[in-house]
Chains A and B, each alone.
Chain A
Amino acid sequence: MIKPVLLWSDALILLLLWSVAGLVWLARNNETLRGPWRQLLRNPVGASTALILAVYVAIGLLDSVHYVERLPDTPGQAARYSGEVRSGLDWALTPLRENVEKTYSAPFATHLYAKETLKGPDGGELRDFPRLKYGGAHLADARQDFWPDLLTRGGLGMLAGLIAWLVFFPLFQRGSEGDLVATASSAKNKSPLTLLWERGGLAPAFAWTLLAILLLVGLLIALAPNYHILGTDKVGQDVLYLSLKSIRTGLLIGSLTTLVMLPFALGLGIAAGYFGGRVDDVIQYLYTTLNSIPGVLLIAAAVLVVQVQIEAHAELFNTAAARSDVRLLALCGILGVTGWTGLARLLRAEALKLRELEFVQAARAFGVTHSRILLRHLLPNVMHLVLITVVLDFSGLVLAEAVLSYVGVGVDPGMISFGNMINGARLELAREPVVWWQLAAAFLFMFVLVLAANLFADQVRDALDPKSSGRK
C-alpha cells in the first residue's frame, strides 16, 4: 500500500505543467502560434534536441511523483507509513537503488576499489580487492566470464532497443513522405499525436536521435541491474542512480529560478529603458544596490533564515524530503531575486534603443497605452535576448548550486544533486588512486542537458523570428 505525497516543488511543477498544457490547448488551432513550432520540429537540430530535452523532462517528472509506503500493520494501531519519501523514479530504479556496495567501485568493476583483509581459501588472511556484493556478482569467474557476459547482455539490450525503434518507424515513414491528400481525408480517424507527426513531417534526424536513445536505454536496462555502469560512490550508491536523480534537482533549480527571475528582469528592465527619467533612476538604483552586495553572502543569509524557520516549524516539514524540498525552493527563490540584474540591465539598454524607433513613436501617436506598447512592441523585440540569456543562465545556475553546496548553503546535503556530486568529487580527485567517475558522470549528464538546451533555444529563437522563416 502506498500513499501519494505532494511536496511543495511537486505542486509548482504541476502548476507549470498545467499552464503549459493550457497554452498548448489555446494554441492548437492558431496557425500563427503553431507554425513556428512545427517549423522547429522539421529542423533536424530542433527535432533531436527537443527529443533529448523531452527525455530529461520525463525523468524529472517521473521523479516528481512522490509517495510513502505503508508499513506492515501492527494490530491495534492505526496505519503507519514509512518516513522515507520515494518517487516514481525510485520505484523504476529499485535494483539500482537497493544494490548498495560497501564503498567506491569503478565503472563495470567486479571488485571493490579498496583493499580489504580477506580470508583466503586456505584460511589465512590476505589483503586484496574483494568481490562486489552486486556488481558482476552473478559471474562465476570474474576474469574469464566478464567480457562474454557483458557483450551478450549488451547485445541483447541493444537488439531490444532496435526492435522498439522499428515499432515506431512506420510513423516516421508516413511523416516524411508527407502525403497531404491522404492525410486530409483520413485526418478524423487518427490520434492527435499521429496527426502531429504526419502534418509536421518530423525531420529524419528525429528518428536517428530516437534510435540512439532507444539503443542506449536498452543497453542500460540490460546491464544496470548486474553492473554498476558508472561505478559507485563513497557509501557504495550507484552513480548512475545518483545522476538520474540529480536531473530533477537541476531542472528545478534552472526552471524555477528563471520563473522567479523573469518577471523582475522583464518588468523592471523594459520599464527602465522605456520610461527613462525617474523610473529609470529608481530601478537602476535598485539593481546597482543589489549588485553591490556579494551574492554568496546574501544567499547564505537567506538560506540560514529559511533553515531557522524550518526548525521552528518542524511539524510542517515532518520528513527529510519535505525539509530538503523547502530548502531547495528557498534557494531557487533567493537565486531568482538576486539573479535578475544582469538580464534587466541588458533589456534596459535594448529598450532604450527600441523606444526611439519609429514604430514605437507611431504607436504613441495612436494613443496606445504604455502597458500595451511595452507588451506588444517592446517585449516581442527583446525576446531573443531573454531566450539566450535564460538558457546560458540555466547552466550557470546548475553550477551555482554546486558552488553554494561547497560553501554549505546550497541544497540540503542529503539531497541528490549535481552540485553535491561535484562537491564530493573535490575529495575524490585528491585521493590516490583517483576516483573520477562521479565527476565524469555529473559532467556528462550536465553537458548533454546544457548543450541540448542551448541548441534548442537557438532553434526556438530562429523559429520565432519572422524574418528567418522565409529563408528556408
Chain B
Amino acid sequence: MKTPMKGLSVENLSVEISAGNRLLKPVEGVSFAIGRDECVALLGESGCGKSMTALALMRLLPDGARVASGSARLEGEELFALTEAAMGDVRGGRLAMIFQEPQTSLNPVMTVAEQIAEALAAHRDLSGNAVSAEAGRLLEAVGLERDRLAAYPFQLSGGQRQRALIAMMLAGEPEVLIADEPTTALDVTVQAQILALLRDLQRQRGMGLLLITHDLDVASDMADRVAVMYAGQIVEWADRDSLYATPRHPYTQKLFAVLPRLDRRGERLDSLPGRVPPPDAVIIGCRFAERCPAVFARCRKEAPGFHESAPGHFARCHLAEAQTIPPFLKGGPGGISTHAGVPTAANPPPPPFEKEGSDVLAVRDLAVHFPIRKGLFRHTVDHFKAVDGVSLSIQAGETLALVGESGCGKSTLARAVLRLIEPTRGEVWVAGVAVGGLSGEVLRKKRAEMQIVFQDPFSSLNPRMRVGEILEEGMAALLPLTAAERRARIAQLLDQVGLPGDAVGRYPHEFSGGQRQRIAIARALAVQPKLLILDEPTSALDVSVQAQILNLLADLQAAHGLAYLFITHNLPVVGYLAQRVAVMRAGRIVEEGPAERLLTAPQHEYTRLLLDSAPGKHPFVGQVGA
C-alpha cells in the first residue's frame, strides 16, 4: 500500500443536495486513495455518484450541493479547508480535471495556444516567449504538432481536441489528474490512442490519475486499483487483477455477467433486475439488496460494513465478511469475464427462427452524395460521398451488424434505406419490392414493413406526447385498425416489451433510459415491420440495461422472424447478437462475413485495427511493469 501522505486520499466523503424540502445524498461515505504513479478507476453505472465525487474533489459542486462530511487530502493538505482563493490555485494546478465532451470544454473563439497560455499564466507565472515555447512543448507531449497552436477548436478532430484539453490540464503540472469519462464521446480507435497517451503521461510525470468510467474494459486496461461505485457508495475496492479475477461483491459479479461477448452467443444474457435506488430513498439495509441474487434476511436489516475479504480487496457485503465466495459464483482462475459465469440451463436461449426465404432487405450499389456548394449562386463544386456504393442483404430472422466509426456513413445508409433521405443512385428492395420506385400513398404503406429504433432514447420520443399517443401514431398512419383495436394492440405491445399497462397515459420523461428504449422498440413494432433498423440502440444505456434490451431484441426476433440491421460501434455486442458483420469505412463496406470468422480472423487491416483498438485486450500495466 502507498503511504496516505502521497497523492490524493479521500476519506468518508459525503455530498448532499437540498432540492426543495428533500435531502438527496448522491455520494455517501466514499473513501479511496490515489498514490503517485498510480491510476485508480472509479467504475459505475450512470447516476451512481462518480461524477459528483469528482466535482466534490475539485470543489466545483453545482448550486445546492455541498460536501456534508469527509476529507480530501492532496499531499497531506486538506482541500475542503482551503479558502476559495487558495483552492483556485490548486484547481487546474496541482489537481486538474478533463471532461467528457471535448466539443464543449474548449472555448470555440480562442486558439489552442491562447487557451494553454491562460493555464500557464495562472499556474506557472510564465510570460512572453516562454509561454509559447512551453505551450508548444506541451502540445508535443500530448502528440500534437507544434503548428496546431494557432488552430481553433473547430479545426481539430474530436481526438485532437481531447489531446489539446489534456495539454491545457498538464500546464499546471498537476499531482493528480481527474479524467471524467475522457473517451466516451470518441471512436474506438481514437479512444485507444487517448487512453495510451493518458497512461504514458501518468507514468512519465509521476502523477496520480483518477479515471472515471462506466466501461469495465477501459478500467481493466488502465487502472492499478479499481473502486466500484453503486448508489453513492463504493461497494468494492481492490487491485485490478484481484478484482477482475475474483469479484467479491454481487454487484460487480453481475456487471461482468451482463456483458455481451462473442462467446455468449445464443445464450440469454444474465440480467440485473430493478433500478438503482433514488438518492433520496431511505435504505436501512444494503443498498443492493433489492437487486441482489444472493440476498438474505440480514441484508435488509443491517447495512454491510466494508470488509477486507482478501488482502487489499474490500467489499461492502455481508458475504465478504465470512471470507467466502458467494456460492452462486462459478468464476474460474481466468476471471469471470472470459468464462460463462451464467448457468445457461436457467436461461435457455430462444429457439432460432426457422425460415429460409428470400431477402427481407437487399441493397445494391447504394450511394448518397451530398453536394458541396460554393459561390454566390451556390453552384455545386463537388460531392461529399457519405455512402458510396454499398451492397448488402438480410434474410428474415437474421441480424446483420454494420460496424464503423462515427462519420463513416452508417446512419446515412440507414436513413437512405428507409428513404428518409433520397439516395443518389442504387436500389433498395424491401421484401422484394424496389422502394426507390415508390411514391405517394404506396410508399407510405410500404413504410409499415421497415422501421427504425434510434440511439438516443431521450430525443427519439416527443416529450409532449403520452406513450399511448406515441405508440398509436404509426398505427393510425399505416394500419386500417379501429380505435378499440389500436388500444388493444397498444396494451399487447407494452406487455411484449415488458412495460406496465398504465404507461399509456404517462409522458416519456417519467421513464428511465432503458424503459424509453423499450417504448421506442414498441413504437417500431406497432406497425408489424419485417425489417428493423437498430441505430446504436444500446450505446446510450448502462451495461445492465443494455443486457435487458439485447435479450428483448433476441426474443422479438425469435417470435416474429424480424430481420435486424444492427448499426453499432460496439464490437462485443456485435459478437453476441449478429450472425453476419459488415465493416464500413468512409462510405464503403471494406469487409463482410460471418461474425465468428470476422471477429476472430479479420481479413482487412481496418477490421484488424478496430478489433485491436477495442479496450479490454491488452492492459498497459503489464508493459510498464516490464
Real complex partners, A and B?
A: yes
CB <8 Å contact, A367 and B443: yes
Bound Cα distance from A32 to B469, whole angstroms = 12
Given A358-B459, A466-B463, A466-B464: A365 and B507 interface contact (C-beta under 8 Å) = no
B-binding segment of A14-22, A376-384, A444-452: A376-384
Which residues 385-399 of B sit at the A interface, judged by CB distance below 8 A?
none
Given contacts A362-B452, A362-B460, A381-B463, 15 further A-B contacts (CB under 8 A): A359-B459, A359-B461, A359-B462, A361-B420, A362-B524, A363-B473, A366-B447, A366-B451, A366-B473, A367-B478, A368-B474, A376-B465, A466-B464, A467-B507, A470-B509
From the candidates B460, B461, B527, name the one contacting A366 in the complex (CB within 8 A): B527
A64 to B415, CA, bound (A): 56
Chain B residue with Cβ nearest A363: B473
Contact A381 B415, beta carbon cutoff 8 Å: no
Within 8 A of B (CB), among A249-283: none
Minimum distance in angstroms from B17 CB to a CB of chain A = 15
Asked if A127 CB lies within 8 Å of chain B CBs, one says no
CB distance from B108 to the nearest CB of A (A): 18
Contact A362 B463 (CB under 8 A): no
> B64: shortest Cβ distance to chain A, in Å?
14
Task: Report whether over half of chain B's contact residues are helix, strand or loop; otherwise say mixed.
Answer: mixed
Q: Which of B445, B456, B527 sits near A358, CB closer than 8 Å?
A: B456
B486 on interface, CB distance cutoff 8 Å: no
CB of B444 within 8 Å of the partner chain: yes
List 16 A-B residue pairs with CB atoms under 8 Å apart, sorted by A's residue number. A358-B455, A358-B456, A358-B459, A358-B460, A359-B459, A362-B454, A363-B462, A366-B447, A366-B451, A366-B474, A366-B527, A376-B462, A376-B465, A381-B463, A381-B464, A467-B463
Interface string of A351-367 (1 = CB under 8 A from B): 00000011101111111
Q: Which of A151-172 contact B (CB under 8 A)?
A: none
- Which residues from chain A contact B444 at a C-beta distance below 8 Å? 367
Using CB atoms, name the residue of chain A closest to B505: A32
B477 at the interface (CB under 8 A from A): yes
Q: Are A365 and B447 closer than 8 Å at their CB atoms?
A: yes
Contact with B along A454-472 (1 / 0, CB 8 A): 0000000000001100100
How many angstroms from the CA of A112 to the CA of B443 in the assembled complex?
A: 81
B454 near A361: Cβ-Cβ < 8 Å: yes
Is B523 interfacial (CB-CB < 8 Å)? Answer: yes
Separation of A359 and B448 alpha carbons in the complex (Å): 16
Please measure, in the bound complex, the distance between the C-alpha atom of A358 and the C-alpha atom of B516, giving whole angstroms: 13
| Chain A interfacial residues counted at CB < 8 A | 21
Contacts of B465 in A (CB 8 A): 376-377, 380
Which B residues lie within 8 Å of A359 (CB)? 459-462
A362 touching B523 in the complex, CB below 8 Å, given contacts A367-B447, A381-B464: yes
Question: Which A residue sits closest to B461, measured CB to CB?
Answer: A359
Q: Which of B448, B509, B524 counts the most A-chain CB atoms under 10 A from its CB? A: B509
What does the 1/0 interface line of B519-553 toward A look like (CB < 8 Å)?
Answer: 01001100100000000000000000000000000
Prevailing SS type, chain A contact patch: helix
Q: Are A367 and B451 in contact (CB under 8 A)?
A: no
Question: Smallest CB–CB gap between A227 and chain B, Å?
Answer: 48
Alpha-carbon separation in the docked complex, A358 to B523 (Å): 13
In the bound complex, CA of A377 to CA of B447 (Å):
19
1/0 per residue A367-393: CB within 8 Å of B? 111001000110011000000000000
Interface residues of A (CB under 8 A from B): 32, 357-359, 361-369, 372, 376-377, 380-381, 466-467, 470
Give the nearest-CB partner of B450 in chain A: A365
Chain A nearest CB from B371 CB (Å) reads 12
Contact with B462, one of A365, A366, A377, A467 (Cβ below 8 angstroms): A377
Q: Who on chain A is nearest to B469 by CB?
A: A376
Q: B478 and A366: CB pair below 8 A?
A: yes
Q: Take A380-B464, A466-B464, A470-B510 as given contacts and tell me if A367 and B456 are in contact as well, using a CB distance cutoff of 8 Å.
A: no
Interface flag for B418 (CB, 8 Å): yes
Nearest residue (CB) in A for B452 is A365
Residue contact B477 to A367, C-beta cutoff 8 Å = yes
Q: How many A-B residue pairs have CB under 8 A?
A: 71
Q: Which residues of A contact B520 (CB under 8 A)?
A: 362
Contacts of A369 in B (CB 8 A): 477
Bits for B472-493, please: 1 = Cβ < 8 Å to A, else 0. Answer: 0110011000000000000000
Distance of A259 from chain B, by nearest CB (Å):
23
Chain B hits for A467, CB < 8 A: 463, 507, 509
Contacting B477 at CB < 8 Å: which of A357, A358, A366, A470?
Answer: A366
Chain B residues whose C-beta falls within 8 Å of the C-beta of A361 in the assembled complex: 415, 420, 452, 454, 460
On chain B, the residues within 8 Å of A363 by CB distance are: 462, 473
Identify the closest chain A residue to B520 (Cβ).
A362
Instruction: Give the 6 A-B residue pairs with the shortest CB-CB distance, closest first.
Output: A367-B444, A358-B460, A366-B474, A380-B464, A358-B454, A466-B507
- Bound form: Cα–Cα A134–B474 in Å: 72
In the complex, which residues of chain A have a beta carbon less than 8 angstroms from the beta carbon of B455? 358
By beta carbon, the residue of chain B nearest A467 is: B509
Q: Determine the residue in chain B with the shortest Cβ distance to A362.
A: B460
- Residues in chain B near residue A358, CB distance under 8 A: 454-456, 459-460
A365–B451 CB distance below 8 A: yes
Smallest Cβ-Cβ distance to A369: which chain B residue: B477
Residue of B nearest to A471 (CB): B20
Question: Which single residue of chain A is at the shortest CB-CB distance from B20?
Answer: A471
Q: Give the distance in Å from the alpha carbon of A53 to the alpha carbon of B166 in the complex.
A: 56
B579 to chain A, nearest CB (A): 24
**Closest Cβ of chain A: how far from B322's Cβ, in Å?**
43
A417 to chain B, nearest CB (A): 38
Does the CB pair A368–B507 fall under 8 Å?
Answer: no
Q: Which residue of A lies closest to B458 (CB)?
A: A358
- Chain B residue with the shortest CB-CB distance to A359: B462
Residues on B with beta carbons closer than 8 Å to the beta carbon of A366: 447, 451, 473-474, 477-478, 527
The CA of A186 and the CA of B512, in the complex, are separated in Å by: 41
Alpha-carbon distance between A470 and B420 when the two chains are bound, in angstroms? 35
Collect the chain A residues with CB atoms within 8 Å of residue B477's CB.
366-369, 372
B459 partner residues in chain A, CB cutoff 8 A: 357-359
Q: How far is the CB of B350 from chain A (nearest CB, A)?
A: 27
Contact pattern, B 400-417, Cβ under 8 Å of A = 1, otherwise 0: 000000000000000100
What chain B residues lie within 8 Å of A372 (beta carbons)?
477
**Cα–Cα distance between A466 and B456 once the two chains are bound (Å):** 19
Contact check, A364 vs B464: say whether CB atoms are below 8 A apart. no
Within the complex, the shortest CB–CB distance from B71 to chain A, in Å, comes to 34
Residues of B near A357 (CB, < 8 A) are 459-460
Q: Kindly state the separation between the CA atoms of A368 and B523 in the bound complex, as whole angstroms.
A: 13
With a cutoff of 8 Å between Cβ atoms, the chain A residues found around residue B510 in the complex are: 470
Once bound together, how far apart are the Cα atoms of A380 and B509, in whole Å? 16
Nearest residue (CB) in A for B415 is A361
A365 touches B420 (CB 8 A): yes
Interface centre among A364, A369, A466 (most CB of B within 10 A): A466
Output the least CB separation between A423 and chain B (Å): 44
Q: How far is the CA of A361 from the CA of B477 in the complex (A)?
A: 15
Select from chain B the residue with minimum beta-carbon distance to A367. Answer: B444
Q: How far is the CB of A23 from chain B (nearest CB, A)?
A: 18
- The closest CB in chain B to the CB of A368 belongs to B477
Q: Is the CB of A367 within 8 A of B445?
A: yes
For residue B510, which residue of chain A has the nearest CB?
A470
> Nearest CB to that of B535 among chain A residues?
A358
Bound Cα distance A366, B461 (Å) = 14
User: Could you say which residues of chain B place their CB within 8 Å of the CB of A377?
Assistant: 462, 465
Question: Least Cβ distance of B483 to chain A in Å?
Answer: 16
Q: Is the CB of B447 within 8 A of A466?
A: no
A359 to B454, CA, bound (A): 9
| Chain B hits for A364, CB < 8 A | 420
Closest chain-A Cβ to B513's Cβ sits at a distance in Å of: 14
Complex: how many Å from CA A409 to CA B344?
A: 84
A468 to B, closest residue via Cβ: B509
Closest to B456 in A: A358
Q: Is the CB of A381 within 8 A of B474?
A: no
Chain A hits for B450, CB < 8 A: 365
Residues of chain B contacted by A466 (CB below 8 angstroms): 463-464, 507, 509
Instruction: Output the residue of A32, A362, A363, A364 with the most chain B CB within 10 A.
Output: A362
- Chain A contacts for B473, CB-based, 8 A: 363, 366, 368, 376
